[in-house]
Structure 1
């Protein structure tokens, strides 16, 4: 999701040289922008409802929707705004590194959810954490801990969950924390870069103005049917 240079923006979002569709198109959402049934579970902190943080993210979302070529994206609802702490399981991703080692790879999602929930008894993230915006992209906001201590709490929570649940994604150690606002339907034309880069930088100033970073609810183990609604089962904070 992240990019740090114009060249990386091109690799991630621009059509030049690409002969494959954007990731998740056809599995997580269709070409018309409708989110598809793809059940699973996950560990997230929702953005505090009604907070200044939510209002700032809503403004970023509206500015993204107002940019040229916004029809190349489908946007998630405001009610779904969250930061993922640790990835659970999802129907379309059942490789061994993405699945609890104690469960068969063809276990039903509800069975896997129950198994994970049972193993969370007595588990909690050791301390609260806060986050800040590092970058705005066409897909949302790249975030990290507001302080080094906050980042350490989140990374240690990921390590502890991986050990308790028995799986560790390939990107476990360098996972990019983020808040998703949209998914890409089609690649942007090359000329979009000159429009998007300064606009995205301006959007970040809205989030930089938040005095305590982006306000989050306590992390929770959640279930979902698609990318529009993440329903808490158990708080872990």
Structure 2
């Protein structure tokens, strides 16, 4: 990275921190007054903030580490680590940053949702391998990259993540059709399948915030979302990855979904 780029990154960090110290005054009134989502304590982390055992599988796109989106997310990570909220939040490592294309099986929640063609008492290894065999012959069936834009700051009310939407109607149809085909191939369709909001998760809450802490953290979150919009309003994602995980810190790729047939 050249000196000019380093200077721009440093300026971005200083600006974000300055805005936070100003109490978010640079945000529009509508953004500051928007209601944040509830900061529910996540079962994916222990009461001391350590990562809980939460195994499963999923289909995701990791954020390209060479992209401006990833560089901006690195600055967001640093600001979260300096936020004074580490007694409440578990900040995810940048290597984990991804966008979920299709939610897989969360084994601790298997009593709520489970594929219809797998025995309910099947172990994790069997389920993971069952999906792997199916996905090896699954045709991605669409052009890459996926292109999504960051939602406006006033809509960034989920304090766990940054939320996105496809850049246009054609891109939305492409991604939604892929999700529909995956649900059919894997015999697995969650209740929020049609309303699923694309996002990149930044942190989880392992301890309940006071109302004042939530107010301050909401302001910080919106400042950081605004910086991402300024620097990298559109994210481009390549082949989805079928991944295994034991918790929220690492998602281990097993297979890249590919176009099996020529266009």
TM category (shorter chain) comes to 0.7 to 0.9
Aligned counterpart for 2:41 among listed residues 9, 19, 22:
22
Asked if the contact 1:90–1:109 (Cα under 8 Å) also holds between the matched residues in 2, the reply is no
- Stretches of structure 1 that go unaligned for 5 or more consecutive residues are 14-20
- Structure (1 or 2) with the larger CA radius of gyration: 2
Q: Deviations over 1:67-104 (max 9, x none)?
A: 243420011111111001111112201136x2211111
Cα 1:125–1:70 shift into 2, 3 Å: farther
TM-score of the aligned structures, taking structure 1 as reference length? 0.84
Paired residue for 1:200, among 221, 229, 236? 221
**In 2: Cα distance, 1:22 partner to 1:193 partner:** 13
Summarize the alignment of residues 26-175 of structure 1 with structure 2, pairs less than 5 Å apart: 28-95=44-111, 98-120=113-135, 121-128=137-144, 129-134=146-151, 135=156, 137-175=158-196
Q: Deviations over 1:186-233 (max 9, x none)?
A: 222112344233322221222212456124332111111211111111
Q: Give the alignment's TM-score, normalised by structure 2.
A: 0.77
Q: Per-residue deviation at 1:37? A: 2.1
1:202 and 1:223 map into 2 onto residues whose CA distance is 33
Aligned residues: 222
CA RMSD between the two structures? 2.2
Q: Which runs of 5 or more structure 2 residues have no equivalent in the other structure?
A: 1-30, 259-263
For 1:221-236, list aligned pairs within 5 A: 221-236=242-257
**Which shifted more, 149-158 or 46-55?**
149-158
Greater percentage in helix: 2
Distance 2:227 2:157 in 1: 10
* Correspondence 1:219 to 2:240: yes
Taking a change above 3 Å as real, the CA distance of residues 144 and 170 of structure 1, as seen in their structure-2 partners, is same
